[in-house]
Chains A and B, each alone.
Chain A
Amino acid sequence: MLSRVVFAAAATAAPCLKNTAVLGSRVLQATRAFHTGQPCPTPVPPLPEYGGKVRLGLIPEEFFQYLYPKTGVTGPYMLGTGLSLYCLSKEIYVITPETISTIAVVGLMVYVIKKYGASIGEFIDKLNEQKIAQLEEVKQASIKQIQDASDGEKTQQALVQKHHYIFDVQRNNIAMALEVTYRERLHRVYKEVKNRLDYHISMQDMIRRKEQEHMIDWVEKQVVQSISAQQEKETITKCIQDLKLLTKKAQAQPVM
């Protein structure tokens, strides 16, 4: 739809573009301009209300008006009378048995038309009006449909103007999600690295402890091995002597 607006603007700016048959059907469709002429203001004149006036049901009014300046009002009637008498007397019109039936039929027709003409006319007018009302309804429905469609288009266009709100919210959401995943991963990396480092530390601690224990055990074993039996006896007797001395001292002291 927008492309059509663009090309209509281009067509008004450069009228030569309107009629150039450009090579390539794709481009041809793009440069043809639609609805560039002025719409016709009164496309169809409405039906006239009454037909041309006719006198005596046979002779159009124009004849009487044509003779009025020369002969006045009664001219055409006198002409008619004179002509009919002439035809009768000169036997241009022959009186046959059919004449009587003609007069009867014509008289009957005149009577019927005079009596029932108006009511039949109204009846047919009503039928006509129904038809016209139907067509009018269709036209109004079509107009309303197109009006609704154009209103819908306008509201859609107005809505499209507000889309940038939705896009802002979405952009914010995505930015937040990105930030969250980034921080999450950062934390995981930190945890993993710390894990590895803790492992190495605990390995070192364990090794040092094991070495200490091993060394202590080894030293103890060596010491125990180095104490020969004789040395052990000497040490024990010395300890007993020391203990005896100490008990003496201890007994002496609380008495004081």
Chain B
Amino acid sequence: MASLVPLKEKKLMEVKLGELPSWILMRDFTPKGIAGAFQRGYDRYYNKYINVRKGSISGVNMILAAYVLFSYCISYKELRSEEA
């Protein structure tokens, strides 16, 4: 594909669908890279919703909602078997 920017430096939203596998494989999967990815994600969320002058409850609320969803997914199988 003719791309003006090299593939490695594109963000996820700018990667075209066909380039996705090669993009994923190009990411940094060393422990340092993975830790860096978690740190980056945390920093982004923190600086956008929590580290502000007048933060609202939605900063914490979204984390709690994500936790609720996640724990529901974990206990889904058990709920299905219990209901049947």
Contacts and interface: CB of A to CB of B under 8 A. Distances in A.
A28 B56 CA distance: 55
Contacts of B51: 47
Contacts of A69: none
Given A94-B79, A94-B83, A54 B56 contact: yes
Interface residues of A, number: 19
Interface in B2-57: 48-57
B61 A57 contact: yes
A58 B66 CA distance: 9
Nearest to B56: A51
A58 B54 contact: no
Contacts of B59: 51, 54
B61 A125 contact: no
Contacts of B53: 47-50, 125, 128
A52 B48 contact: yes
A43 interface: no
Contacts of A107: none
Contacts of B61: 54, 57-58
A109 to B, nearest CB: 9
B54 A52 contact: no
A58 B60 CA distance: 9
A234 B43 CA distance: 161
A179 to B, nearest CB: 79
A49 to B, nearest CB: 5
A18 to B, nearest CB: 35
Chain B, interface SS category: helix
A55 to B, nearest CB: 9
Nearest to A120: B57
B74 to A, nearest CB: 14
Nearest to A54: B58
Interface string A124-136: 0100100000000
Contacts of B50: 51
Interface in A86-110: 91, 93-94, 96
Nearest to B83: A94
A57 B79 contact: no
Nearest to B68: A102
A113 B57 contact: yes
B37 to A, nearest CB: 20
A1 to B, nearest CB: 42
25 contacts: A47-B51, A47-B53, A48-B52, A48-B53, A49-B53, A49-B54, A50-B53, A51-B48, A51-B52, A51-B56, A51-B58, A51-B59, A54-B59, A57-B58, A57-B61, A58-B58, A58-B62, A91-B80, A93-B72, A94-B80, A94-B83, A96-B83, A113-B57, A117-B57, A121-B56
Interface of A: 47-52, 54, 57-58, 60, 91, 93-94, 96, 113, 117, 121, 125, 128
**9 nearest A-B residue pairs (beta carbon):** A54-B58, A51-B52, A51-B49, A52-B48, A57-B58, A57-B61, A94-B79, A48-B52, A49-B53
